[in-house]
Chains A and B, each alone.
Chain A
Amino acid sequence: GAVVSQHPSWVICKSGTSVKIECRSLDFQATTMFWYRQFPKQSLMLMATSNEGSKATYEQGVEKDKFLINHASLTLSTLTVTSAHPEDSSFYICSARFLGQEDNEQYFGPGTRLTVT
């Protein structure tokens, strides 16, 4: 079946540094990728929707200059958390919707746990 991978699976960084998270679709071409954030014991919150070759659409309250999304190909989207702060520590999950699928569920990646110290 369809597989979505994320790298890294976990990362610890110092406050003020930037972190890049990759989301890859392994067996299919993903027309749309979604980035979610999940704080402990809370549900997934959509941050942005990313379409290949165009600018991402950010949800209200998500700073586009802080969370840079690049969707350069049909199999790769990246999320860069710039100037990370401890409050950015969270579980970041991507999901993908693939080309040719009419009305489907999204395939989720395994998530990346970011800890900012």
Chain B
Amino acid sequence: EDKVVQSPLSLVVHEGDTVTLNCSYEVTNFRSLLWYKQEKKAPTFLFMLTSSGIEKKSGRLSSILDKKELFSILNITATQTGDSAVYLCAVRTGTASKLTFGTGTRLQVTL
């Protein structure tokens, strides 16, 4: 059974802090790993990672994948209150593009 585990489950930081969210996986037929941000509704796409060691960056967010150790991290620098959300990691497997989601990390950024 495919498994995706995220840590920590929840996190409270002060505005301006840097946070690192972790995602480890154990799946068959790995295709890619995706990060999403979920506020009150459906997840919004952040990154898709397919190759090890290549950092993807978008503003204050960045992510990297390690296919040997089977994990990915999502970094957020200079956090803002608008970053408060649940961050979901999902792994895409097989030809049918099935996504297996982790339980998410609930991030709260306080003033």
Chain A interfacial positions (CB closer than 8 Å to B): 32, 34, 42-46, 49, 57, 93, 95, 97, 103-111
Contact = CB atoms under 8 A, between A and B. Distances in A.
A108 B43 contact: yes
Interface of B: 31-32, 34, 41-45, 48, 50, 88, 90, 96-104
A44 B101 contact: yes
Contacts of B42: 93, 95, 108-111
Contacts, number: 48
Nearest to A32: B97
List 8 A-B pairs, minimum CB-CB distance, nearest first.
A108-B42, A43-B101, A44-B101, A111-B42, A43-B103, A105-B45, A110-B41, A93-B42
Contact of B104 (A43, A57, A103): A43
Contacts of A32: 96-97
